[in-house]
Structure 1
Amino acid sequence: MPVNTRGGATFSALHAAIAAMKGEHTMMMRLPRKLALIAGLAIAFGGMAYTQPAAAQVHVGVGIGIGIAPPPPRVERLPPPRAGFVWAPGYWRWNARWHRHVWVTGHWVRVRRGYHYRPAHWQRGPRGQWHFRPGHWVR
């Protein structure tokens, strides 16, 4: 049975309003927790859904063509052979800041069995632009 209070509202109406607000508050507190749990599980299991095969190799490259041909390669004095290494000859690298080619000295690269080393070089594209191809291993 409703009981009147000083403000004129009945006790049961006031109690119902407070209960409704508590329910909303509890519901609002539960929603972010549920969303956080779902997001955490999605991240955890999403990473397990796809794994790259161990033997696969990823190569990322950006091709930039320039209109200035590289100078002829410099003559480098070849150092004595080193066991387990192959000599990667020097090459001209484009420096966009200076707007010119800069010489990169040759260096030793560890041998990979079953592969041969293809040195860095410049290649002229079909539109006359020059494209740099870095040194890499080929089967």
Structure 2
Amino acid sequence: MTHRMLRPARAILVAAVLGSGLTFSAASMAQVSVNIAIGVPPPAPMYEVVPAPRPGYVWLPGFWDWDDGHRKHAWKKGRWERERPGYVYESPRWIQSRDGWVLVPGRWDEGGYKDKGHKDKGHKDKGYHCPPGHAKKGEC
């Protein structure tokens, strides 16, 4: 085959690869979730001073993340994020599985605790965060 004969075939192949890659990328980016189990449990949470409430914002507390490059946990500081009406933020948390420790990422939960039968326990401050481990005990 000559180079002239390969050009149309190569162009069709490149177009097909690019077209399929673009088709998959938009759909796959919305649903990507990777769980990595590690053998090292996270350290105890670090104490952070929660700043005074900001109207229209929710305090997302800090948490231990896994830094794969350094092969250790790294503390991610808490931060403010614009509130989402009708949603409650669930902080990231580590769970122990049969394969090791897995980080469940933080997320915005539609409806929040009030729609799931949990009691508010009198915390009227939108910036309130239940300390780790207390929600499971029904203390928040």
Assess, with a 3 A threshold, how the Cα gap between structure 1 residues 101 and 65 changes in structure 2: closer, same or farther. Answer: same
CA distance in 1, matches of 2:109, 2:32: 16
Say whether residues 1:60 and 2:32 are aligned partners: yes
Larger Rg computed on CA atoms: 1
**1:135 & 1:70 partners in 2: Cα distance?**
16
Q: Which residue of 2 aligns with 1:97?
A: 69
Name the residue aligned to 1:3.
none
Aligned to 2:136: none
Q: Which amino acid aligns with 2:92?
A: A
User: Which of 52, 57, 63 is residue 85 of structure 1 equivalent to?
Assistant: 57
Write out per-residue CA displacement over residues 43-74 of structure 1, whole angstroms, 9 at most, x where no aligned residue: xxx9xxxxx9xxxx933111110010000101
Q: Where in structure 1 do 4 or more consecutive aligned residues deviate above 6 Å?
A: none
- 1:114 paired residue number: 86
Output the amino acid matched with 1:137. W
Instruction: Report the Cα offset of residue 78 of structure 1.
Output: 0.5
- For residue 58 of structure 1, give the secondary structure of its aligned residue in structure 2: helix
Superposed CA RMSD: 3.4
SS of equivalent to 2:102:
strand
Partners of 1:62 and 1:128 in 2: how far apart? 14
User: 1:75, 1:58 → 2: CA distance?
Assistant: 33
What's the CA shift for 1:100? Answer: 1.3
Corresponding residue number in structure 2 for 1:131: 102
- Residue 131 of structure 1 and its aligned partner are, at CA, apart by 0.6
TM-score with structure 2 setting the length? 0.58
Relative to its length, the structure with more helix (as a share) is 1
| TM-superposed deviation, 1:97 | 2.2
Please give the TM-score of this superposition, normalised by the length of structure 1: 0.58
Separation of aligned partners in 2, 1:60 and 1:112 = 22
Give the aligned partner of residue 22 of structure 1. none
